[in-house]
Amino acid sequence: MTLTAPPTKVAIIGGGLAGLTLALALHDLNISATVYEARSEDFDQGGGIMLSPNALRVLDSVGIYQRIRDRSLQFDVLTFKNGQNETTDEYYFGSEKLYGYHAIRIMRKELLDEMKAMLREYHIPIHYDSKLVAITSDGPDEVKFAFAGGRAESAPLVIGADGINSTVRGTFLPQVKPMYAGFMGINSVVQRSQLRIPDGYSLPATVMAKSGAFLLVPQKPDGSELFIGSQRRFPALDAAGWEALRKDKQKLYDMLQENKDEWPDVVQSALEAAPVDRMGFWAFHGIPPLASWLSDSKRIILVGDAAHAIPPTAGQGANQAFEDVRALATLLSELSPDVPLDKAAAKWQSYRQDRIRRVLDLTQQMNMKRLPESERAKMPPGAIWSDKSLTRGEGGELRWLYDPDLAQEVKKWVEELKQT
Ligand SMILES: Cc1cc2nc3c(=O)[nH]c(=O)nc-3n(C[C@H](O)[C@H](O)[C@H](O)COP(=O)(O)OP(=O)(O)OC[C@H]3O[C@@H](n4cnc5c(N)ncnc54)[C@H](O)[C@@H]3O)c2cc1C
Ligand SMILES: *[C@@H]1O[C@H](CO)[C@@H](O)[C@H](O)[C@H]1NC(C)=O
Ligand SMILES: *[C@@H]1O[C@H](CO)[C@@H](O)[C@H](O)[C@H]1NC(C)=O
Ligand SMILES: *[C@@H]1O[C@H](CO)[C@@H](O)[C@H](O)[C@H]1NC(C)=O
């Protein structure tokens, strides 16, 4: 039986960005949720993320945005620079004027910690050190599931927010495996005061040179620290190989320093400042587009990276996860005999899959833009992203991406369903 009323209880597997935001959104709609997270409460994956207006609108709607704004760095554009310190393009990541919000960069742990604090304030239960290992039965009226250590639970609805390697997904789409996109980013962290930044040079920037693209991304609210690094093609390794590379900081450092002379002075100053012990990398993985984000019973629903992990060059992974959960929470609160879960979820999935397809196209064009010059020269017209609006983004070329209000969007679907 499909649900014809808001669920009495939702089990959320995964307490990452998608899972915690969903729990907060459901709470506001008086739907009770429980979160199960494999890791311990204080786990720190490290690093920062950039969030764009489409996601900040979601975080604003659940009350998180106001609480983290002052701990984030605000900016509007990612500048593309050539070797002569000139701006060749601008990519709008946010704009209060155009899209209602500046973009922000925030450390992932700070954002997660604030969400966890809100869950505590609202008394939303979250079980740490709870790794889901199996869904033991799916439907017709409830889902049963089990955790490492043997605990078993059930709920009328289970949300898989357990990331790119999703165990929940594995229970009904076992053939889906994360795929390596053939690119990696190698990075480090430096102090702004260590760099030779030309006057009037706008950051964050992607600096283009013969050997590819180099990122200079300020972080910390005052921009005193920069995340720096380059993106390159790199052959696939097996899990043990990636693990070995992660530990080999000297190797990563040497890779980052390759072709140092070909970079403009500002990048050279970043390379000179990069400490070996802060070296890291990020191998870009995605999953192939899934035909369905729902199990046959429609009582298991995938969100975030579990449903659509995408490579990072348009910076939309987490941003899209926030869109998923905002729309889903509102939709669940609107379920009724006229708006049954099976039909409602089909609308949600098709809207979300369309958006992800467009983001993937954009990501592909951004990947091409960051290739070495010689490779870019071979690309057909249109393959490489550029801001085609007359006034460098002021026309809002990315309006389709940043403008939608997901809660409003859902109200439209509900009206449509009621009329048919
Ligand atoms: C270095 C880096 C930088 C990034 N920068 C950006 C950026 O600037 N902007 C952007 O939009 N995106 C960025 N992304 C992508 C973004 O991090 C992901 O898209 C986002 O984290 C997805 O959120 P999620 O909640 O779906 O999954 P995750 O954040 O992966 O969370 C999944 C959670 O589920 C838990 N879990 C996993 N398996 C189980 C299980 N079996 N049982 C219980 N719990 C489980 C995990 O411990 C984790 O807490 C970046 C990614 C990386 C790696
Ligand atoms: C949730 O419940 C509270 C208290 O019963 C009520 O005031 C509020 O309007 C409800 N909110 C929604 C979105 O239903
Ligand atoms: C997914 O699994 C791969 C291979 O085991 C691992 O390298 C990677 O860190 C995992 N990703 C996440 C987000 O857990
Ligand atoms: C770029 O800026 C740096 C630092 O200000 C300066 O040394 C260099 O000459 C500039 N390069 C060009 C081509 O203008």
- CA of residue 28 to ligand 2 center, whole Å: 8
Does residue 88 lie in a domain region? yes
156 lies in the same domain as 271: no
Does residue 1 lie in a domain region? no
Residue 397: is its pLDDT beyond 90? no
Residue with structure tokens 């357990």? Answer: 162
pLDDT score at 104? 98
Is the full-model pTM beyond 0.75?
yes
232 lies in the same domain as 104: no
- CA of residue 366 to ligand 1 center, whole Å: 21
Does residue 4 lie in a domain region? no
d(CA 376, CA 380): 9
Does residue 237 lie in a domain region? yes
> Pocket around ligand 2: residues whose beta carbon is below 6 Å from it?
29-30
97 lies in the same domain as 169: yes
Our answer on whether the CB atom of 36 is closer than 6 Å to any ligand 1 atom is yes
Does residue 388 lie in a domain region? yes
Domain span at residue 41 reads: 9-178+287-413
Our answer on whether the CB atom of 163 is closer than 6 Å to any ligand 3 atom is yes
Half-sphere exposure for 139 (CA within 13 Å, toward CB)? 13
234 lies in the same domain as 358: no
258 lies in the same domain as 294: no
311 lies in the same domain as 164: yes
Does residue 122 lie in a domain region? yes
99 lies in the same domain as 20: yes
51 lies in the same domain as 99: yes
- CA of residue 362 to ligand 2 center, whole Å: 40
Does residue 245 lie in a domain region? yes
- CA of residue 164 to ligand 3 center, whole Å: 7
pLDDT in tens, 128-176: 999 999 999 998 999 999 999 999 999 999 999 999 999 999 999 999 9
- For the chain, the farthest-separated pair of C-alpha atoms sits apart, in whole angstroms, at 67
> Are the CB atoms for 283 and 295 separated by under 8 Å?
no
Bridge-based pairing of strands 300-302 and 157-160 is: parallel
Domain count, the chain: 2
pLDDT in tens, 204-227: 999 999 888 999 999 999 999 999
196 lies in the same domain as 155: no
For ligand 2, what atom is nearest to the CA of residue 28? 13
Residue 394: is its pLDDT beyond 70? no
Does residue 418 lie in a domain region? no
240 lies in the same domain as 314: no
- The residue from 260, 285, 310 where one domain ends is 285
Q: Confidence band (pLDDT; 50, 70, 90) for 117?
A: very high
